[in-house]
Structure 1
Amino acid sequence: MNTASRLGLYGAGLVVVFGVAFAVAGAVVPDSAVASWTERGGDGHDEQSAEPATQNTDNGKEQGTDVSGVMIAASGYTIGAISAPGETGTAGELSFVVRGPEGEPVTSYETAHGKQLHLIVVRSDGSRYRHVHPVLDVGTGAWSLPWTWEAAGTYRVYADFTASDGPGVTLSRTVDVGGPFTPQPAAETRSTATVDGFDVSISGDLVAGAGSELTVEIARDGVPVTTLEPYLGAFGHLVALRDGDLAYLHVHAHGDEPAPGEVAGPEVVFTAQAPTADRYLLYLDFQVDGKVHTAPFVLDAVPADLSSNDTGDDHGGH
């Protein structure tokens, strides 16, 4: 199916709802209150059954949200301590166990986006992003994979999964890695990136409290790429983190799941809803010729009353 045909199917695009999460007892998180976002629809991740929380936004308005995401426990599931090398340059293993409502290790998971569990690892300044897929030992319930830290700092480790007969959950812990640490914070917005010879751009506005479209376009040597391959059930995979507290959003491209061997491009379209008018760090994974590439972006979400992309007015949206 070509790009034009696929974009014609986007009318029922995915809408992602973000939530605010506060650290629970025993959580290992930054000192600031932690907010989170939860994805609904299109991937088997159901709404979590936590009590609503209220957040004051920068424009003075309050919005009710569902508590979910960046916490060590949610919906009866808990992520145990992360075992990993304690310093840079040391080869070892990263591992952890997820426990269910009865306190026993979870050993049965649903497949979502082609995997039973997605592991996102990122340093506190938003750099050193990795999206990987550990292996489950069904005998012990331990997830693990070979691991080496390339740079020191404090890292957030997210486990995104759906246990069999359970809701979709994203749990998180932090890991401190010893060694000299030079922070690399996002100093300015960035809507273009060059990675492995690909030029990638992202257009559209993030709007606080309102759904808006983001369109990614990929080219190589000035030529639009039309050979994007399916990766994790879509032609693009987007993760976004709110700068400052690393609140988490996991969203895929519009459209049905591609068939094996199907290609698309150069555009991939997403719909996102930012909870507040803040800065967001975005990471796009895409696959060409069997290799996955990651393009980073930095966008600022604007208040809805200042946006030209207000989907609730007569302008017809994006």
Structure 2
Amino acid sequence: MISSSRLIARRRAIAATGAAAALALTLAACGSSRDSASMPDMGHGGNSTASSSSVASSSMSDMPGMDHVASGNGLSDSQDGYRLTSKDTTLPPGKQAAYRFTVTGPDGKAVTDFAVDQTKRMHFYAIRSDLTGFQHVHPTMAADGTWSADLSSLTAGAWRMFASFTPNTGKGKGTDYVLSRTVTVPGDAAKVPLPAPAASTQADGYTVTVKGEPMAGMAHPLTVSIAKDGKPVTDLEPYLDTYAHLTAFHEGDAAFAHLHPTTKAAGDNGGPDLSFHAELSTSGNWRLFLQFQAGGKLHTAALTLRVG
């Protein structure tokens, strides 16, 4: 028989092993949120598990935009009883056009009370199926809940229209949603090949460089550096409560992700390095669109990021 002292020691060893295993699992789940604690909103997260999402959101609640992180990839027109509706199935090519839509709630009525997220009650995105022609606008709402998104000239092809919002009342109060519908722009729709993955790109004389190697389904830090004429840019102005807005779309299905900024805006002295919390749901190529403001002008830079 095993003596009582040896039995107690053995039980203690087993307990310690179990505790170590539990700690390892906890660290594995929390590692990405710890890494992201030093950066900002790429937008609306992917298909992470409920436990890892709750850990990440609790650790980033004090970051700009991180109190509003939507789930899903935005490829549906409905979620939790909320629905994006529109009579617009086609839009004219080569000229400005307004896309009109309504968000209805679980009761079937138009939602008219929306919370403010990054200074706006509604963020609206238009993206062509080959991930060209990106537009990010902030539509206006009529008293009956009908929104109107004024879009610049559209090229022929299939487009997806995304509405990103947070109900301020009702069943989904405080929950972020990204819903979408497709629209056809008539005409010859020549597909434009997606540019190869690259670490940097040029836009309006600025050089934008992205550092980071995100993995699908995992929260990961991403750093964006901005330079001009070979010198670091340090005069970025606040845009939507931060120094840059970063959105991503997946090649093939145009799945949506908003990469959340972790760099807070304080005066017209942003840059050159901006940090983001990236959580991209699917592996493959993602087209990133970075919007930043300097000298009173909004700039948009795009590059392709490979996600493993």
**TM-score relative to the length of structure 1:** 0.73
Structure 1: unaligned runs, 5 residues or longer: 1-9, 21-36, 49-66, 303-318
Give 2:185's aligned residue.
Answer: 177
Structure 1 partner of 2:75:
70
Aligned to 1:60: none
Q: 2:164 aligns with which of 160, 167, 178?
A: 160
Q: 2:37 aligns with which of 11, 33, 39?
A: 11
Q: Report the Cα distance in structure 2 between the residues aligned to 1:43 and 1:254, rounded to whole angstroms.
A: 8
User: For the Cα contact (< 8 Å) 1:19–1:69, is it kept in 2?
Assistant: no
Match of 2:281 in 1: 275
- For residue 206 of structure 1, the aligned residue among 203, 210, 214 is 214
CA offset at residue 88 of structure 1?
0.8
Scaled by the length of structure 2, the TM-score of the pair is 0.76
**In structure 1, the residue corresponding to 2:215 is in which secondary structure?**
strand
Residue 241 (structure 1) aligned with residue 249 (structure 2): yes
Q: Does 1:45 align with 2:68?
A: yes
* Distance of aligned partners of 1:209 and 1:106 in 2 relative to their CA distance in 1, 3 Å threshold: closer
Structure 2 match to 1:306 = none
Higher helix content, 1 or 2: 2
1:114-263 alignment to 2 at 5 Å? 114-137=119-142, 139-165=143-169, 166=173, 167-256=175-264, 258-259=265-266, 261-263=267-269
SS in 1 for 2:37: helix
Q: Who is 1:104 aligned against?
A: 109
Cα RMSD after superposing both structures: 2.4
Post-superposition shift, 1:245?
1.0
Unaligned runs of at least 5 residues, structure 2 = 1-35
Asked if the contact 2:247–2:259 (Cα under 8 Å) also holds between the matched residues in 1, the reply is: yes
Following TM superposition, by how much is the alpha carbon of 1:163 offset from its aligned partner in structure 2, in angstroms? 1.2
1:205 shift after superposition: 0.7
Q: State percent identity of aligned pairs.
A: 33
* Superimposed CA distance per residue, residues 225-284 of structure 1 (whole angstroms, 9 cap, x where no aligned partner): 10111111111111111111111111221134x24x342111111121333331111111
Question: Relative CO higher for 1 or 2, CA cutoff 8 Å, sep ≥ 6?
Answer: 2
The whole-number CA distance in structure 2 between the counterparts of 1:281 and 1:229 is 24
Q: Specify the code of the residue in structure 2 equivalent to 1:11.
A: A
Residue identity matched to 1:147: L
CA contact (8 A) 1:119 1:131 kept: yes
Whole-Å Cα distance in 2 between the matches of residues 68 and 150 of structure 1? 23
Query: Letter of the aligned partner of 2:191 in structure 1?
Result: P
Partner SS for 2:46 = strand
- The 1:100–1:184 alpha-carbon spacing in structure 2 relative to 1, beyond 3 Å, is same
Instruction: In structure 2, give the amino acid aligned to 1:245.
Output: D
Per-residue Cα deviation, 1:76-98 (whole angstroms, up to 9, x for no partner): 21110253763312444221111
Letter in 2 for 1:110: A
Contact 2:292 2:299 (C-alpha < 8 Å) held by counterparts: yes
